[in-house]
Amino acid sequence: MTTEGGETVTASSPEGVSAGQYEARAISVNLALARIDDIRPSIEGSSFGTQRDFDRFLLDADGTSDKSHLGANLTLALSVAHIRAEAKGEGMPLWSYIREVMDLSKKTASLRLFSNMINGGLHGGGKLAFQEHIVVPRSLDLEMAIKQIGSIYAAEKTALKERYGPGATNVGDEGGFVPPMEDPLEPFVVMSAVCEQLGLTEDVDFALDAAANEVSIPAGDLFALYATLAEQFAMHAIEDPFEDVDFDNFALLKRQLNSKADHVLIVGDDLTATNTERMRLAKEKDSVNAVIIKPNQIGTVTEAIKAVRLAREYGWEVICSHRGGDTNDDFIADFAVGIMADGLKLGSPARGERVAKYNRLLKIADDMAQ
């Protein structure tokens, strides 16, 4: 996208590997290219004023409830390009411009990084039922957290190679290792041992993305597994512990795990889909105390910000997230810092599309220190 002032910006959309049924629809690349030609005359030479105005134009041009005409992949790429152009026009870093849009200049930063160490489920292709086994540094200093993640990832590679052989260090969709494990507790046993070896036991927590839509374990057994995880490991968050229609079991697990002194986040992703209607249902059932925000689940920056505002109204923690099928676009790093998210899922420090987000965070941390 090129502005009247000659500023050119680019944007690309990620794609979910385990996309939920309540997400906005993506369309094929060839169809998206045809659709952009349809709306090009309405965009070129036009002035839309604010980001909200531009995104409203996209919603009207799409005309569906799920972005199935233009496709959420096309609308998001256009939406991100537009807000990048706005930020450039104002001479501001993107994260700072987003923060101004959100009117969050006085909020204290609390961003924790969620790094996927071991992949399972659809992201791994092995025998582990659960999708993401995650380390979460407690440090809110981005440079320190990234340094700790890098150390853990390197030590994890060595430990897995020694225990299971070199094939265990192959990586899944988000850069996490794919060792020949079956026991759902085993990834956390290894991760805990690595953190202890590095002297980081008191510096990190763990998280699990169960992605239970793809899990065949009965609900009763899942409850027992999650209780064991919470008892044996420093679990900070459990994401999508049950299927995306099971509001009641989400709520029951939230009550059970938060009746103790340790606070465990029960996180909605496929359950809530960055969709305010789904979020309202989760609030009515008291199903979660945190929510994943993925802009491509809803299709525009404005709608993603609307979901963030609602989550804050409900008192939920906000965790931004990349996708299993991602690109080198680093927008999600600026977005997470800009909205003052409580967490950011960004995969392992491996593969270019994941490393791009880490590098952007380091640049943002440098900018903020100036």
Q: Answer yes or no: 4 catalytic.
A: no
Write the DSSP assignment of 201-250 as a string of letters: GGGEEEEEE--GGG--S-HHHHHHHHHHHHHHS-EEEEE--S-TT-HHHH
Residues in the chain, overall count:
370
Percent of the chain as helix, strand, coil, to the nearest 5: 50, 15, 40
Please report which helix (H) or strand (E) contains residue 52, including its range.
helix 51-62
Distance, CA of 119 to CA of 155 (rounded, Å)? 16
Q: Is beta strand 343-345 parallel, antiparallel or unpaired with respect to 112-119?
A: parallel
Assigned token pair, 271:
């359950």
Number of H helices, E strands in the chain: 14, 8
Catalytic residue, chosen from 283, 294, 345, 357, is 294
Beta bridge partners of 177: 118, 171
Q: Answer yes or no: 174 catalytic.
A: yes
Distance, CA of 197 to CA of 204 (rounded, Å)? 13
Catalytic residue, chosen from 174, 239, 243, 317, is 174
Quick check: 50 and 119 in contact, CB under 8 A? no
Contacts of residue 143, defined as CB under 8 A and 6 or more positions apart, other chains included, come to 362, 365
C-alpha separations of 246 from 207, 213, 253, 257 in Å:
20, 10, 11, 17
Q: From the centroid of its chain, how far is CA 301?
A: 14
Active site residues: 174, 294
